[in-house]
Structure 1
Amino acid sequence: MNQYLDYIMEQLEKLMAIDSPSGFTKKVTDYLLEEYARLGYSAKRTVKGGVIAEIGGEGDPILTMAHVDTLGAVVAEIKSNGRLRLSPVGGFNANNAEAHNCRVYTYDGQIYEGTIQLADASLHVNKEYSTTQRTFQSVEVVLDEPVTSKDDVKALGITNGCFVCADPNLVVTNSGYIKSRFLDDKLSAAILLGYAKYIRENNITPLRKVYQHMTVFEEVGHGACASIPEDVTELLSVDMGCVGDGLECTERQVSICAKDGHGPYNYQVTTGLVNAAKKDSIDYAVDIYPFYGSDADAALSAGKDARHGLIGAGVYASHGYERSHKDGVVNTFRLLCSYLNGNAPKMD
């Protein structure tokens, strides 16, 4: 098991190194196509931009899904003083965007660095610093370039609509905690790659036909609304598991979602996931997510006739500076193996 955990963590680091807010995902899907080829799979990019690979098995096809698009922003206005006003992409929140380093990508391929800051960000100057509400009207990008006017910024090639990408700031502690922006959902994408590697290297045939779909518009609500193989009868989103007040899951467990903001998940699928976790002594929790939507929800909303479920490693501080744990990764990986293969690998 350790070698697959190491591989998952390696893939997480590589995915995090590629900026990919919704709508700006070609580089990360280029990488995924290359990685699937290295693993021995023939993956394809959908017209919409996601990546689909057939992993193995026969009968009663299941589509497992993770998303590699993240939160982010685009330039909404170049201010007269050379600062940038932002328009968020997905649930990017000004309350936790402040003081993050970022990159601005121009349409002609240039990349500029900057920092997202409250306007007039010096406490020694701004007596309203502590009481100012953080919104995308009050925070701005301060470019690390000698610019003091709108014309200076335009001369760099920066225009409205340019993507602005915050640093993930990935840290893995000695105690196994994983801290970063965008664990939702690049951590799950890495776990799916780990599963693909595991069954290929161990000549395992899943109990049913398994597809993997890495979607690229989940954070704006329509990631899996299209490109689902016609024969798929079940959808399993592998996304972040919620951790917070009133929920049982911790970062060290795999979360099985019984209901989210769109309604309950398929009872038979949820029951199958719970029974698989019990059978292989996998540390899990079942929870209700009050403000959540998944790729499986999007697919059903678009009219796909299929059963659906949702699992994921527990993640604290979602849509902010998130935290999970290697144990949550292992439990999610093992539940995938138990549910799809009939048994989970033993712990090393």
Structure 2
Amino acid sequence: MNFEQYQNYLIDTASSLLSIDSASGFTTNVTDYLLKTVEELGYPAYRNNIGNVIVTVEGEDDTEPVALSAHVDTLGLMVRSITSDGMLMITSVGSPLLPSLDGEYCNIHTRDGKVYTGTILSLSPAIHVFPDASTRDRDEQNMAVRIDEIVHSKEDVEALGIHAGDFVCYDSKTTFTKSGFLKSRFIDDKACSALELTLLKIMKDNVIKPKHKTYICFSTHEEIGYGGATLPKDIKELLVIDMGCVGLDLTCTEEQVSICAKDSSGPFDYEITTRLVNLAKKYNLDAVTDIYPRYTSDALALWRAGYDTRAALIGPGVQASHGMERTHIKGLMNTLELCAAYLELI
């Protein structure tokens, strides 16, 4: 199968997903996009009560269902309070690398559907004014959002309809370079969600089925710990498609697919992980096996919810995770092919 012909679809789909604000707890717009896209591809899908999108693909054998899961929720912020001079104090959604947000543009989404733009700044933002401009901590107590509206007081801000609990979604800054790099926030995990949509298109275009009945899942609360807790109950195996870690003593690069043998919750299923290692060798994929000591995924949420499901995890190598992330088209394509091999599409 010629996977390279799907690179442009993958890139376009990733760009579309990355353009949609979807911090955990604020994912309706991105799941609307998923349902529309999947419907156009001709697959049955539904959004469950908590917001996950589940696509059902009939297999050659429907007795042992498997699932792939990536997440479309992202890191983000919420308005914690409004200062007397009209700045928005923030609280984190998930675990964004806050120092990397100093100076980033953002959208403020109100409960009545209005969207305002702003900038996330240190509370000592000017070198000509504040003696601690370069040294002040960049954290929730020392950063705020400056709204692009004429406001001088808390009352001015509230008159716009902005209140505590409104979501603040910052710019993804998505760029594909001529050298093949995807630079963007939220590659974790919208790039892998784009891979799942690409797999669906490959199966449609080539009129092929996976060996087993397969659920293609898009979870919406992974960044806050429970995205995998409400996946279909009959899953026998779960392959989580999430970012691969790059750095320290890890082997993976951005051009590779990483097979995670163990994360902070413990080892993944030995048999599935070994199968993935052997599939990568069989199809000459650029793959490595690594350990992620500061990492959890939808698999942990699934196990904590009481599922009797074996699980493994793979993903493209992503540098600078939860900050200004980067991966490469080679890493994405290696991951795509390993997913296809796992489903026995090749």
Within the candidate set 213, 218, 239, 2:222 is matched to 218
> 1:268-283 counterparts in 2 under 5 A?
268-283=271-286
Name 2:116's counterpart in structure 1.
112
Name 2:12's counterpart in structure 1.
10
Q: Does 1:97 align with 2:78?
A: no
Name 1:253's counterpart in structure 2.
256
Aligned residues: 342
Name 1:162's counterpart in structure 2.
166
> 1:120-139 counterparts in 2 under 5 A?
120-139=124-143
Within the candidate set 47, 50, 59, 1:48 is matched to 50
2:299 is paired with a residue whose SS is helix
So what's the TM-score if we normalise by structure 2? 0.97
How far off its partner does 1:253 sit? 0.3
**Residues 153-162 or 59-68, more deviating:** 59-68
Distance 1:34 1:232 in 2: 25
- What residue ranges of structure 1 are gaps of 5+ in the alignment? 344-348
Distance 1:215 1:291 in 2: 20
Q: Does 1:88 align with 2:92?
A: yes
**Residues 178-187 or 207-216, more deviating:** 207-216
Over the matched positions of the two proteins, sequence identity in percent amounts to 47
Letter in 2 for 1:132: R
> 1:162-311 counterparts in 2 under 5 A?
162-226=166-230, 228-311=231-314
1:75 is paired with a residue whose SS is strand
How far off its partner does 1:342 sit? 5.3
Q: Does 1:324 align with 2:330?
A: no
For residues 96-123 of structure 1, what are the alpha-carbon distances to aligned partners after superposition, in whole Å with 9 as ceiling and x for unaligned? 1111100000111110000000013011
Q: Does 1:66 align with 2:70?
A: yes
Name 1:346's counterpart in structure 2.
none
| Conservation of the 8 A alpha-carbon contact between 2:318 and 2:325 | yes
2:195 is paired with a residue whose SS is helix
How far off its partner does 1:92 sit? 1.8
So what's the TM-score if we normalise by structure 1? 0.97
For residues 131-156 of structure 1, what are the alpha-carbon distances to aligned partners after superposition, in whole Å with 9 as ceiling and x for unaligned? 21111110110111111110110010
Distance 1:136 1:229 in 2: 37
Letter in 1 for 2:242: D
Q: Aligned in 2, Cα 1:270/1:250: closer, same or farther, shift over 3 Å?
A: same
Within the candidate set 16, 23, 27, 2:29 is matched to 27
Distance 1:110 1:230 in 2: 38
